[in-house]
Amino acid sequence: MEEKRIAMAGQSDTGASVHARRVIAYIILILITFICLFWFYVLFINSTRSNADLTRGFSPAPGKFLGTNWDNLVHGTLPIFNGLINSLIVATLTAVFATYFSTMTAYAIHAYDFKLKKFIFTFILMVMMIPTQVTALGFLQLIGKMGLDDKFTPLIVPAIASPAVFFFMKQYMDSTLPLSLVEAARIDGSTEWGTFNKIVVPLMKPAVAVQAIFSFVTSWNNYFTPALVLHTDTKKTLPILIAQLRSADWLKFDMGQVYVMISFSIFPVIVVYLLLSRHIVGGVTLGGVKG
């Protein structure tokens, strides 16, 4: 009987400990969620206030100038709807190219044995360490000679070579794509192209969704390269237009318009995230663990 009492007491202590840890975990998660969402709240609240109100400091209550700020922005000198379309074109095509061709490259490294395989893998990772700013001058000279200045092509095509996406896809394949599955498809008469598109890509859907989100957001927020390549206002992306709005002279500067435009620019990113978010947890978890 004494042993049973000790066992029951131990189980009770274990249950209480698990409950306490769960409560602490929930509290921490709620706190982190609040910290993350608070800045979105500040952004949307400031979008409803006038420039004069904003100069007086933060207020938790919304203002009454959302319509006025939006009207001033739409009827201003900046083509914001052109910027939205341009950003959607560049970010969407960048995400598609980066995920598809990086998956293809990772599949080639994963499924085939050939000379210099380890060197190529290492070389791709070395390219990932080179900052964009280092190659900017040579990149601009190249696109100038090719007649691609002030065009979307230099912003989209280089996305085919995305070392970070490649590395994630390679790690994901190591966890979820057994070579026996590829061999079985070959025995059944599937072509290499068919195996990749009909078997590998569907199997990689969670990882593709995760990297599509990351690539889309990275391209959407990219300011450095588009600012160097694009010169015509109607071809500029939203980050460039936001920078132009913020750099207006003090007589025309309106912080309310800036906040409205930032809110307007992040809305498509939120939509893309909500559409693909159900794949994130599984994709990130499996991609970070090598089986």
Measure the CA–CA gap between 161 and 164, rounded to whole angstroms. Answer: 9
Query: Is residue 204 one of the residues assigned to a domain?
Result: yes
Query: Is residue 52 one of the residues assigned to a domain?
Result: no
Q: How far is CA 282 from CA 277, 278, 287, in A?
A: 10, 8, 8
Rounded to 5°, angle at Cα 18 from 12 and 20: 100
The number of distinct structural domains making up the chain is: 2
CA dihedral 258, 263, 269, 272 (to 10 degrees): -150
Q: Does 160 share its domain with 94? A: yes
The residue among 32, 68, 76, 18 whose CA lies nearest residue 47 is 68
Predicted TM-score (pTM) of the model is 0.80
SS3 for 17-29 is HHHHHHHHHHHHH
Q: Does 41 share its domain with 90? A: no
Q: Does 216 share its domain with 276? A: yes
Query: Is residue 61 one of the residues assigned to a domain?
Result: no
Measure the CA–CA gap between 129 and 117, rounded to whole angstroms. Answer: 19
Q: Does 136 share its domain with 37? A: no
> Whole domain around residue 198: which residue ranges?
70-287
Query: Is residue 263 one of the residues assigned to a domain?
Result: yes
Query: Is residue 58 one of the residues assigned to a domain?
Result: no
Query: Is residue 62 one of the residues assigned to a domain?
Result: no
Q: Does 36 share its domain with 146? A: no
CB 126 within 8 A of CB 208: no
Q: Does 152 share its domain with 232? A: yes
Q: Does 178 share its domain with 269? A: yes
Concatenated DSSP letters of 141-164: HHHHHTT-TTSSHHHHGGGG--HH
Alpha helices in the chain (DSSP H): 2-47, 51-55, 66-74, 80-111, 117-128, 132-145, 153-156, 163-176, 179-187, 192-195, 201-203, 205-221, 224-229, 238-246, 255-276, 280-287
Residue 53: HSE in the Cβ half-sphere, 13 Å Cα cutoff: 19
Q: Does 41 share its domain with 82? A: no
Query: Is residue 108 one of the residues assigned to a domain?
Result: yes
Query: Is residue 56 one of the residues assigned to a domain?
Result: no
CB 196 within 8 A of CB 80: no
Measure the CA–CA gap between 152 and 212, rounded to whole angstroms. Answer: 19
Q: Which amino acid does the sequence have at 195?
A: T
Q: Does 22 share its domain with 90? A: no
Cα of first residue to Cα of last residue in the chain, in angstroms, is 46
Q: Does 85 share its domain with 135? A: yes
pLDDT tens across the length of the chain (291 residues): 555 555 555 555 566 677 888 889 999 999 998 998 888 888 888 888 888 888 887 778 888 888 888 888 888 788 889 999 999 999 999 999 999 999 999 998 888 888 888 888 888 888 888 888 888 888 888 898 998 888 999 999 988 888 888 988 888 888 888 888 888 888 888 888 888 888 888 888 888 888 888 899 889 989 888 988 998 888 999 999 888 887 766 666 778 888 888 888 888 888 877 777 666 655 444 544 444
Q: Does 29 share its domain with 101? A: no
Q: What is the pLDDT of residue 213?
A: 86
> Domain with 204 in it: what CATH number?
1.10.3720.10
Q: Does 74 share its domain with 39? A: no
